[in-house]
Amino acid sequence: MNYQEYIEIRAEKRFGKPCIKGTRITVYDVLNWMSNGMSKEEIMNDFEELNEQMINPCLAFAADKENKIRIAS
């Protein structure tokens, strides 16, 4: 998955945290909601600007980051 289509990092937005393009919602926000038991459907109901095609790249971004950390270790 090419998460770069959906995730952006801009110094002036949320202190440079990776955000879903067109929103101020960070990858961390989405991962935190999911780790606390929210489903994709519940997230989309609470945040109507999000869709599944925006949530899945957050998971891909986190997996890629984890893989890069493991390789660098």
20 has which bridge partners?
7
pLDDT at 1: 77
Distances (CA, A) of 73 to 36, 62, 66, 67, 70: 28, 17, 11, 10, 5
Q: How far apart are CA 49 and CA 57, in angstroms?
A: 15
pLDDT at 66: 84
pLDDT at 14: 95
pLDDT tens-digit profile, the chain (73 residues): 789 999 999 999 999 999 999 999 999 999 999 999 999 999 999 999 999 999 999 999 999 988 777 676 6
pLDDT at 73: 62
